[in-house]
Copies of this chain bind each other. A is one copy, B any other.
Amino acid sequence: MALTAVGSIAFDSVRTPFGERERMLGGSAVHFSLAASFFTDVRVVGPVGDDFGPDELSVLESRGVITDDIERVEGGRTFFWRGHYEYDMNVAHTDDTQLNVFAEFDPKLSGAARQAQMLFLGNIQPELQRNVRDRCREAEFAGLDSMNLWIDTARDSLVSAIADVDCLLLNDAEIRELTGEANLARAARAAMRMGPKVVVAKRGEYGAALFSGDEFFAIPGFMLEDVRDPTGAGDTFAGGFLGYLDSRRGAGESPFDHEALRQAMAYGSVLASFNVEDFGTDRVRSLTREEIGHRLSEFRRFTHFDAEPSRT
């Protein structure tokens, strides 16, 4: 089992109704890798600057994430994002983005990174996603996450990148925007005609929906009384989802198996529910496998009903 994750490694400054934090470790590759590390071996690929120190590295390494492919740019500064949330925490407001070392990023990709059988292309420029996908030809399952920025500014590149992956992960509104279909089921089918056999629609606090072949699956969000910081929830979901699928693949199963995909949706949701309970990576970095198992059981109880109840 080995999963290569490419995406941003960042410092995030975040304000929510529940507090404010400066320069926390974040980024799509970081949130993804921490979540996936509970299920499989993860190798993280991305550039950092001189401001990325041993403390940041140790967050990843203490979860067993392989950091050999993190590229340190001498004299550079790490990607920086500043944002805030109002009471509707489904919507992130960006106050500042500094690409820094990401502006010139040309991933080197070690032999080990290129040989991964599972690949995650986090939310970065679609051209970069295509470049990495082209060079990781061993991957039998590649997932891609993106955002409305690229639909608006680099649609053709994004469509090309999507054409070459197995699984597309996007917010439901973004799938609608990408395809021009108002109905989510139709929009997901249209997205599948672009290439991916699997489409995951992320729905914030409302959970997520999965489309694979003719199959469908939906899961509500895990209900929490305290959501402190939703930053990285989507990437954490993707990490739980692809990480679990890679563990099944490692056991000889197909990552396209619908039962495995359904279960992966549940694990992705569970991991995301932990992520939002505290700022940045604080909750996931201290998480245990037992807590994940316990919450999965709770979650099943919260969503279970019978197909043929005894009395009707």
Chain B contacts for A265, CB-based, 8 A = 305
Q: Decide: A251 near B220, CB < 8 A? Known: A207-B206, A305-B266, A306-B263.
A: no
- Are B307 and A88 in contact (CB-based, < 8 A)? no
- Are B207 and A311 in contact (CB-based, < 8 A)? no
Nearest Cβ on chain B to A248's Cβ, whole angstroms: 6
Q: Is A286 in the interface zone, CB < 8 Å from B?
A: no
- Are A225 and B183 in contact (CB-based, < 8 A)? yes
Chain B contacts for A216, CB-based, 8 A = 223, 302
Nearest Cβ on chain B to A142's Cβ, whole angstroms: 22
Q: Is A312 in the interface zone, CB < 8 Å from B?
A: yes
- Select the residue from A89, A189, A216 with max chain B CB neighbours within 10 A: A216
CB < 8 Å neighbour of A218 from B223, B226, B251, B262: B223
Chain B contacts for A225, CB-based, 8 A = 183, 185-186, 189
- Are A207 and B220 in contact (CB-based, < 8 A)? yes
Nearest Cβ on chain B to A195's Cβ, whole angstroms: 20
Q: Is A193 in the interface zone, CB < 8 Å from B?
A: no
Q: Is A300 in the interface zone, CB < 8 Å from B?
A: yes
- Are B244 and A312 in contact (CB-based, < 8 A)? yes
Chain B contacts for A17, CB-based, 8 A = 182
Within 8 A of B (CB), among A13-65: 17, 39
CB < 8 Å neighbour of A311 from B227, B251, B293, B311: B251
Chain B contacts for A296, CB-based, 8 A = 307-308
Nearest Cβ on chain B to A206's Cβ, whole angstroms: 4
Chain B contacts for A185, CB-based, 8 A = 223-225
Nearest Cβ on chain B to A288's Cβ, whole angstroms: 13
- Are A220 and B223 in contact (CB-based, < 8 A)? no
- What CA separation (Å) do A218 and B302 show in the bound complex? 6
Name which residue of chain B comes closest to A226, CB basis: B183
Name which residue of chain B comes closest to A224, CB basis: B185
Q: Decide: A309 near B218, CB < 8 A? Known: A182-B87, A185-B225, A206-B207.
A: no
Residues of A bordering B, CB below 8 Å: 17, 39, 87-89, 182-186, 189, 203, 205-207, 209, 216-221, 223-227, 244, 247-248, 251, 253, 262-263, 265-267, 293, 296-297, 300-309, 311-312
